[in-house]
A and B are shown apart, each in its own frame.
Chain A
């Protein structure tokens, strides 16, 4: 049995934000995270956002806007995502099982704010901003600021997560998304790394974006590793060094935890693997 006090499914955004203004509704889209919580929660009031037209992917030139109700299955197969935000497509294709990807949405993945959410590092690579709407108006926040701690965001009780606005990947960039978990399928990430990398004709790294999940308390960019790599010629030694540096940073910012003896060498290896794998994936 699940505990729902009220279920309402508005069909326009103005209706939805009007209801949200009361401040006691929880938005639901696919529900693959939320319904699990409903088995144990007090009865809550649900507002279904699936009929609000938020399942769009819009290409506006140098940006892509993705509606909050776009499913992981759609992200992993959509041609616009494949061309301009390839890390996001790859990460979404590794979420849960096909059944979960068919229901679960990118908005839910981010609003739930699990430290291991697969789409978070991928969106961070593309400097994603979160567009929030309420009766009072709208505001746009950097995703890097939006997730504040595990399962905690800046979303206010009267706000709806409308969409994500991402910068396109540069042309001819290399990318990868790698994760470790307990098994290959239906795999909750123990750690994940997303990379987008551009190099010049001399194999020198021109620019690089790296983000990780379950490394720091919230999904975040590894700016110090990025800075270390920029301007350096690509080599196995450099990638190994970057892996060791990422593991040092994890301990610096997340402290020593029960899992550190496992995570430290695994992160070093994962970072190295993610950088090596970029050479096999290239955007046109």
Chain B
């Protein structure tokens, strides 16, 4: 029995949540983390599975306006949560990516790309709280996201570039409605 079949045969709990702006009512398998549930349960593979112990940040998603490690949340816990993953970042139907994504490309902040989805979710969560972060604030916000390629310089450049062009409209959808 493979991992996905094992997961689907387990016990479940009913959860209502919003993912990337869409409402869902699902049975969350009890033996899945949110990371497992996004990938194996819902087919959203943009959120990466790195260390599964909350060290690397590759699985970072935004829940209720805050960056969290989806490997350290149980699928069962997401009832009433508003979740954003990398799949929801670019505006629907637009020809351009989101300004944070554009800034990562322009600054060469994406090398192998494995950390990028988590990194970009952390940057959006930072900009939701602080539109003009200084270097130290950027480093603190990204301390939980490891990148083994860039040495972080380009990533910090990308955050500053994104901060210089981003508008309220670019961030509006990530602000949780219930708060």
Chain A residues in the interface with B (C-beta under 8 A): 1-7, 9, 28, 30-32, 35-36, 38-39, 46, 48, 50, 73, 96-100, 102-103, 184-186
Asked whether A185 and B73 contact (CB < 8 A) given A1-B36, A99-B68, the answer is no
B171 within 8 A of A: no
Q: How far is the CA of A36 from the CA of B139 in the complex (A)?
A: 26
Asked whether A186 and B122 contact (CB < 8 A) given A98-B67, A98-B140, A102-B68, the answer is no
In the complex, which residue of chain A has the Cβ closest to the Cβ of B126? A98
Q: How far is the CA of A63 from the CA of B55 in the complex (A)?
A: 35
Closest beta carbon of chain A to B174's beta carbon, Å: 14
Contacts of B118-145 to chain A: CB distance below 8 A = 122, 125, 139-141, 143-145
Q: How far is the CA of A276 from the CA of B140 in the complex (A)?
A: 25
Q: How far is the CA of A48 from the CA of B60 in the complex (A)?
A: 22
Interface segment out of the listed B16-24, B25-33, B97-105:
B25-33
B3 within 8 A of A: yes
Q: How far is the CA of A100 from the CA of B54 in the complex (A)?
A: 7
Asked whether A32 and B54 contact (CB < 8 A) given A2-B32, A103-B69, the answer is yes
A48 partner residues in chain B, CB cutoff 8 A: 76-77
Give how many A-B residue pairs fall within 8 Å (CB-CB).
91
B66 near A73 with CB under 8 A, answer: yes
State the main secondary structure of chain B at its contact with A: mixed
In the complex, which residue of chain B has the Cβ closest to the Cβ of A29? B77
Asked whether A98 and B143 contact (CB < 8 A) given A1-B36, A2-B32, A7-B76, the answer is yes
Q: Mark B41-82, 1 if CB is under 8 A from A, else 0.
A: 000000000001111010010000011110111101101000
Interface residue count for B (Cβ, 8 Å)?
Answer: 35
A7 partner residues in chain B, CB cutoff 8 A: 13, 30, 74, 76
Supply 24 A–B pairs (Cβ within 8 Å), ascending by A: A1-B3, A4-B30, A4-B74, A6-B30, A28-B74, A31-B72, A31-B73, A31-B74, A31-B77, A32-B72, A36-B54, A36-B72, A38-B74, A48-B76, A96-B144, A97-B57, A98-B67, A98-B140, A99-B57, A99-B60, A100-B69, A102-B68, A103-B73, A184-B143
